[in-house]
């Protein structure tokens, strides 16, 4: 398990940071009318943020793994 966590550390950090950013976006900006697909519910924006953060973290993680 430690090898897995070390290998995908940037992806895991990206998922956590993205989830936090998605929730904060819902909390601060949100959607006034309630008809926005992503920002109408906190779960939707948190999941979307975690997916985007994971993708971004995996991009940097791949380049780091190739360099080593």
Q: Tens of pLDDT along 11-56?
A: 999 999 999 999 999 999 988 887 888 888 999 999 999 999 999 9
Model-level pTM? 0.82
Judge contact between 58 and 11, C-beta under 8 A: yes
21 lies in a domain? yes
* Tally of domains in the chain: 1
2 lies in a domain? no
DSSP 31: -
Range of the domain at 28: 7-67
pLDDT in the model for residue 64? 61
């Amino acid at each position: 398990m430690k090898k897995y966590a070390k290998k995908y550390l940037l992806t895991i950090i990206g998922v956590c940071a993205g989830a936090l950013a998605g929730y904060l976006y819902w909390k601060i900006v949100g959607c006034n009318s309630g008809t926005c697909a992503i920002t109408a519910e906190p779960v939707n924006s948190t999941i979307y943020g975690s997916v985007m953060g994971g993708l971004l973290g995996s991009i940097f993680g791949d380049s780091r793994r190739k360099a080593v």
